[in-house]
Amino acid sequence: MATTVIHKLITLTNRFIEADEYRTSREIRDQLVADVFPLLSPTMRQEISNITEYNDVLKSVMRAYKDKSCYEQEAIAMVIIRRMRRGERAVRDDEALLAYATAPERRL
């Protein structure tokens, strides 16, 4: 039960940690995770790594594409992560994902 609480805490704080003048958000997150990682199961460790990676990429996309909707920003972040992870195999599906995310009927 304690590891579940720790896991949820890290998962929730991952999205809201902001950098200050002394450390980047990645450094702050890494310190938080390093303090509690030994208590987590391998599955939880992998999930936290995936969430951290997604949040980092999404924040970068949000800064770079301020004019895009949140759906488009999330789709772009997913495409970037897929390309980093799977290379050419994922590239085939990327155009369809972006077309779906940016379709006129998806815009509010």
**Which amino acid, one-letter code, is at 67?**
D
CA gap 69, 14 in Å, rounded:
22
Helix-strand-coil split of the chain, %, nearest 5: 80, 0, 20
Give the pLDDT confidence score for residue 17 in this predicted structure.
65
Please give the model's pTM, rounded to 2 decimal places. 0.52
Q: Do residues 90 and 82 lie in contact, with contact meaning Cβ atoms separated by under 8 Å? A: yes
Q: Produce one character per residue of 68-90: b if its CB has 16 or more CB atoms within 10 Å, e if not.
A: beeebbbbbbbbbbbeeeeeeeb
Q: Do residues 25 and 40 lie in contact, with contact meaning Cβ atoms separated by under 8 Å? A: no
Give the pLDDT confidence score for residue 67 in this predicted structure.
92
**Model confidence over 30-86: pLDDT tens digits?**
777 677 777 777 777 777 777 778 888 888 899 999 998 888 888 888 888 877 777
| Domain spans of the chain, in order of start | 1-64, 66-108
